Chains A and B, each alone.
Chain A
Amino acid sequence: MTKLIQSLMYGLNLGSIYALTALGYTMVYGIIRMINFAHGDFIMVGGFTLFYTIPVMKNLGMPLWLAVIAAIIVCVGVGVLTEQIAYKPVRGQGSTTALITALGMSLVLENGALVIFGSAPRNVSPMFSLPTIEIMGASIPGQTLLTLVIGFIVMAILSLFIKYTKLGKAMRAVPEDKVASTLVGINVNKIITITFAIGSGLAAVASMMYTTSYVSIKNELGITLGLKAFVAAVLGGIGSIPGAMIGGLLLGIVEILVKVYMLPGTYEAVTYLILIVVLLVRPTGLLGKAVSEKV
């Protein structure tokens, strides 16, 4: 029982990292039908920002959470730059070109980080020092719980933002019909940029959660994390914002449970198997909508 509760908490924690990342994939895919392969690497960028800014904050005697703000700023900057420099010029040139460009940008960030930071893993110093908390006999690190709460708050804010603000409504309108959105006065290009900014910001929050729990980062961090978050987005139904959250949490819990109880070595294979099964049985995911081709 203790083990189960502990696994569930870790699962939720991992799940919210996936969820926050999956949101970035799903929002971008919803608007421009492109798998933004570079999105996973935004987390890596956030991780390295934290790695360098936390000691700085410590030395200056400033609150350490300011490092997260720095990570958000850097990630948003990188995200928007990626969109403006690489993705905007190829928009409308077909899905093939978009896919390759996204892959290219992912490789640029990954290998750029390799050149700048080297290939050795780095340990991000802890941002919070909280005591371990006992829940029904299971001991959970305090910072894991805290980041979990932060992750949930961020998702709640995003949901409210998307649902009630004018900008959020515009963000929901553009994926439905680009032309019609333009007709009602929505600046589609602006919405796309804002989507990238929000997605990258969420990636920065995810990187905060990741480094708090898993500490070690390296230039290839974004690949597997990104792929799994994409699995979560597909599981929830790509393009669907609540879907990404549910898919992320579900995937995190399943992955930890499989790891703890069934296949400690090959649990990752199960994650990808889930993706394949979902795509074959229900390609629209849990909450996605079907799109058919006009003949």
Chain B
Amino acid sequence: MAEEKIPVLETKSLGIQFGGLKAVNDVNIEIYKGELIGLIGPNGAGKTTIFNLITGIYTPTTGSYILCGKRMNGLKTHQVVEAGIARTFQNIRLFKKMTVLENVKVAFNKNMKANLMQSIFRTPYFWKEEEETTEKAMELLKLFKLDGFADQFAENLPYGKQRLLEIARALATDMKLLLLDEPAAGMNPVETAELKESIKMLREKFGIPILLIEHDMSLVMSICERIYVLNFGEILASGTPDEIAGNKEVIEAYLGKEDEDEGGDV
């Protein structure tokens, strides 16, 4: 891997405490350009909490995280997005009563320049920008074969398509790093296969690094280059899928208990 360059994302002993509980403790993760990294671990291990830390929803109590050499601690969520980290959510968070197209257009907002007066007085620039944004959004939707649903409310999409729309929306923010939180959760095998294709397509087309939380082991093992295993808020192991699959501790902590994990986090 490209060890010679600075990482896209680097966390340095990142941690957060809720009351007396160390939900995440001393987590060091590095992601380099073009990598697809898996983040796995039993339920409640703190995976989503790490995402929430990296995206400014929670403020870390210890450590820091750095995007392309820039320290990100203390930024608000929208500033994190502006800096270049986009994410999806474990329990899908779409703008339900907005159309599929609008869902994506919202994410283009930060790059749009028509100011309040131009928007209210409907200047030619306003119309031009609106049309361009619609075009860009439609292109993104096409990539995920969602363009046929553009005018439907997001809540009316089938489950698997909703997950894809969330990814499309994240992509629209024009990011440097993509965080996917259990994109395959609740999907049937056909949808999972479709998702896998989409993720592959993303990497080929955009070359962006992805950090992926996933419970579907076969998916993680088949597409990730490296994997971090989290347990009780700490990194238990990291390495290639083969190394992880052969790691005794991991098998004990995680794979051995896989049956219990089927309950799903709420």
Contact = CB atoms under 8 A, between A and B. Distances in A.
A–B contact at 8 Å CB threshold (below)? yes
A295 B181 CA distance: 11
B48 interface: yes
Contacts of A295: 48, 52, 57, 89
Interface string A272-295: 000000000000000000000001
Contacts of B57: 295
A272 to B, nearest CB: 30
A295 B52 CA distance: 8
Nearest to B49: A295
A165 to B, nearest CB: 31
Nearest to B89: A295
Interface in B33-67: 48, 52, 57
Nearest to B57: A295
Nearest to A293: B57
Contacts of B48: 295
A295 B58 CA distance: 10
B44 to A, nearest CB: 13
Contacts of B52: 295
A271 B89 CA distance: 42
A284 B218 CA distance: 46
A67 B45 CA distance: 62
Nearest to A292: B18
Nearest to B48: A295
Contacts of B89: 295
A274 B48 CA distance: 38
B227 to A, nearest CB: 24
A295 B57 CA distance: 8
A95 to B, nearest CB: 16
A295 B87 CA distance: 12
A295 B54 CA distance: 13
B5 to A, nearest CB: 32
A97 B89 CA distance: 27
A125 to B, nearest CB: 56
B45 to A, nearest CB: 16
B202 to A, nearest CB: 24
Nearest to B18: A292
Interface in A120-174: none
A295 B89 CA distance: 8
A113 B160 CA distance: 55
A18 B140 CA distance: 58
B102 to A, nearest CB: 21
A178 B57 CA distance: 27
Interface in B102-117: none
A295 B55 CA distance: 11
A295 B23 CA distance: 14
A295 B265 CA distance: 12
A257 B57 CA distance: 43
B85 to A, nearest CB: 15
Nearest to B265: A294
Nearest to B52: A295
A40 to B, nearest CB: 34
A295 B88 CA distance: 11
A295 B48 CA distance: 8
A217 B92 CA distance: 53
B79 to A, nearest CB: 17
B248 to A, nearest CB: 33
A247 to B, nearest CB: 26
A96 to B, nearest CB: 13
A28 to B, nearest CB: 27
A61 B72 CA distance: 78
Interface in B179-228: none
A61 B48 CA distance: 72
A140 to B, nearest CB: 47
Interface in B67-98: 89
B185 to A, nearest CB: 15
Interface string B5-35: 0000000000000000000000000000000
Interface of A: 295
Interface of B: 48, 52, 57, 89
4 contacts: A295-B48, A295-B52, A295-B57, A295-B89
Nearest first, the 4 closest Cβ-Cβ pairs linking A and B are A295-B57, A295-B52, A295-B48, A295-B89
